[in-house]
Amino acid sequence: MKLSVAIASDGASANAFVVFRGLKESIIKASKLGYDGVELALKSPEEVNKAELTQWLRDNNLEVSAISSGQVFAARGLSFTDEDPEKRAELYQSFCQFIDLASDYGNLVNIGRTRGPIAGREYAYAESLFLDMAHKVADYAEKRGVTLILEPVNRYEIDFLNNLDQTSAMLRKINRPSFQMMPDVFHMNIEDDHIGDSFIRNKEWVRYVHFADTNRHAPGDGHMDWDEIFSALTTIGYDGWTTCETLPYPDPDTAAKRAVAFLKGGQYATYYR
């Protein structure tokens, strides 16, 4: 497996779930601490200057693990289940730009809260809005060789696709090769019956994993059963990214350092190449 950390640009809003802010500084720090990659949590594709990003990644021997789109919902209020045609057009345009960016960096774009809520409407209606947009972005992603990773998110953040079983059912309904899953163990701890069993039941879709402890602090700083997680990931033959998407607690440097020490410096070190 490879280890990554969620980062954002300086302009990211306060509610972005990232460890570090400021792309260049974050890349330098992540590399020094022993991460293999960074996940870019972007509000808009214009936050990235490709020439600069390529140089920073090369200088620090780091990869982009994925582009995440949570800020498109949290900061810009755009989502797949929005019915306003203008907002849908704006979202589609941003997603195509994210897909273009991902085709040069990591080939993965996350769909977390950006899938949007049901928000009191008839489920079938909200779902049809979601599916319509899902197929449009899949058409574009498939042309560019990019995979979209749909993330189950807990009920306190969104009322649609909370656990892995629900998300697998939706992926079967979408039935596009470009749509896979991004489980996040923080959400699984709230929503799934057993973390290990759920990974195993839904293994065919698992393409990328978010890591945080039960309190959303660094792995090792809560009461998550990491033996169960690593054992399940081994059982399903998972060898992809594990990305720390934690609160920057007690501060970004300490959180990032503690996560690497726990994951790569102790009993789980053998899982990392």
Asked if 47 is part of the footprint of Mn ion (rule: CB under 5 A), the reply reads no
Which of residues 56 and 219 has its CB atom nearest to Mn ion in the complex?
219
Asked if 245 is part of the footprint of Mn ion (rule: CB under 5 A), the reply reads yes
Here the tokens at position 28 are 């330098």
Q: Which of 113, 207, 217, 264 binds ligand LER (CB under 6 A)?
A: 113
The site partner of 127 among Mn ion, ligand LER, none (C-beta below 5 to 8 Å per kind) is none
| Cα-based distances in Å from 101 to 77, 138, 264 | 21, 15, 29
Asked if 127 is part of the footprint of ligand LER (rule: CB under 6 A), the reply reads no
User: How far apart, in whole angstroms, are the C-alpha atoms of residue 111 and residue 72?
Assistant: 10
State which of positions 135-164 bind ligand LER (CB under 6 A): 151, 153, 157
The site partner of 217 among ligand LER, Mn ion, none (C-beta below 5 to 8 Å per kind) is none
Residues 164-203: x/- map of binding to Mn ion (CB under 5 A)? Answer: --------------------x-------------------
Here the tokens at position 197 are 């069993």
The site partner of 157 among ligand LER, Mn ion, none (C-beta below 5 to 8 Å per kind) is ligand LER
- Contact criterion met (CB below 8 Å) for 256 and 19: yes
Using a CB cutoff of 8 Å and minimum separation of 24, what contacts does 129-134 make? 129/80, 129/81, 129/82, 129/83, 130/80, 130/81, 130/160, 131/173, 131/174, 133/80, 133/88, 133/91, 133/92, 134/80, 134/174, 134/176, 134/179
State which of positions 178-237 bind ligand LER (CB under 6 A): 184, 210
- Per CB under 5 A, residues contacting Mn ion are 184, 210, 245
